[in-house]
Copies of this chain bind each other. A is one copy, B any other.
Amino acid sequence: MGSSIPLFSVQGITIRMHITFPLILIWGALQFGVFTGGGWSGAIFGLIVTFLLFAIVVLHELGHSLAALRYGVPVKQIVLLPIGGVAELGRMPEKPIQEFVIAIAGPLVNFALAIILAPLGLALGQGFGGWPPADLFDNLGQLSFNAIFNYVFVSNLFLGIFNLLPAFPMDGGRVLRALLATQVSYQRATSIAVTIGQTLAWMLGLYGFLNGNFFTILIAVFIFSGAEAERQLVQTRSVLGDLTVEQAYSRRVQTLTPQSSLRDAVKLTFDSFQSDFPVCEGEQLVGLLTYTRLLEALDQHGPNVPVGEVMLTDISPLSPKGNLFAAQQRLAENNLEALPVVADGRFLGLLTNRDIGEVYRIASTQPDLIATLKLDKVKSLS
């Protein structure tokens, strides 16, 4: 996930901070230092509460991560963003019960913290400011070091409840899908959960609209598009998951040699419909010149430099028998436009995002057509 800085590790999981993360600390300091009029002590107070809030977010994400590890699902990292945290799992859990436990573990951490903190705060004789608990919220947003206990308690309650909203990308969306998936298919469960989440988002958006509240609308849009992204992901996996690279990659490929100049590459780009090029020496694939790499290299070195000097070389090729959804995920994760297809050391062709899009569209409506289509073994026309 973009540019982030490692902070520390827990059980082999690296907690990283996105480079935009300090923005929320600055916002916290400004909020209590300037807008609430607290001056320097307000700014320090703002830093402390924001820091504590994100300590809670880290514990929430660790809840998900440790539950995932328990099921053998690898955890890549936890990234802290200004709007919250994300635990990146290496793959999706296999069974609904696993998804359920992983999803609910985060909110449960918050509720556990709230339960531990309540008597502790009362015992220390500070922070809760009396009974009934409506008083809890009275000194929130105010600059009061006494209220910090209070603040942490309420934040845990809020984070736990908010994340249980039954809508992607909230944990509650996954919880709901997992529960539904015990009764209906995974794809149907996703579809129902997405519809419920998006209905909720519409209601929230309408509420924000009628009240002219910008943040509520922003949250509604965030929830709506998070749900849509989940629908799209499951839809893509269901369409592409049955297909192989072989059914999608382009065989009619123009190739470059390491001695070709960037000028030759530009010419071929204009001349043909192709814009990413494998670089070969005879039958042997030695590199890849994607369109993005070509543009960068042109800017840095001009058109006369040989392709061999600027091509990408650390590319692990795809196998024709490989799964197409996995290939699409690899392209997306590595932010690549194309990957070469190689079998037994022989270069066969190129798989681009465009190829995947074409197959996806046809396969969505005409799956039979894809099954009966025999693609040529033609390799190169160059």
For A245-282 the 0/1 string (1 means CB < 8 A from B) is 00110111110000000010011011111110000000
Asked whether A266 and B215 contact (CB < 8 A) given A252-B271, A273-B252, A273-B272, the answer is no
Q: In the complex, which residues of chain B have a beta carbon less than 8 angstroms from the beta carbon of A274?
A: 273
Complex CA distance for A250 and B269, rounded to whole angstroms: 9
Assess whether B358 is in contact with A270, with CB atoms less than 8 Å apart: yes
Scan residues 230-256 of chain A and give those whose CB is less than 8 A from a CB of chain B: 247-248, 250-254
Complex CA distance for A313 and B69, rounded to whole angstroms: 60
Answer yes or no: A214 CB below 8 A from chain B CBs: yes
For A346-373 the 0/1 string (1 means CB < 8 A from B) is 0000001011001101100110010001
The stretch that binds B, out of A40-48, A78-86, A105-113, A205-213, is A205-213
Assess whether A273 is in contact with B214, with CB atoms less than 8 Å apart: no
Counting chain A residues whose Cβ lies within 8 A of the other chain, the interface size class is 35 or more
The stretch that binds B, out of A1-9, A119-127, A187-195, A374-382, is A374-382
Give min CB distance, A140 to chain B, whole Å: 18
Complex CA distance for A252 and B252, rounded to whole angstroms: 11
Give min CB distance, A27 to chain B, whole Å: 12
Extra A-B contacts (14), CB below 8 Å, given A270-B358, A273-B273: A212-B213, A250-B270, A251-B272, A252-B271, A263-B373, A270-B375, A271-B375, A271-B376, A271-B378, A272-B273, A273-B354, A295-B362, A302-B366, A303-B366
Q: In the complex, which residues of chain B have a beta carbon less than 8 angstroms from the beta carbon of A354?
A: 273, 275
Q: In the complex, which residues of chain B have a beta carbon less than 8 angstroms from the beta carbon of A250?
A: 270-273
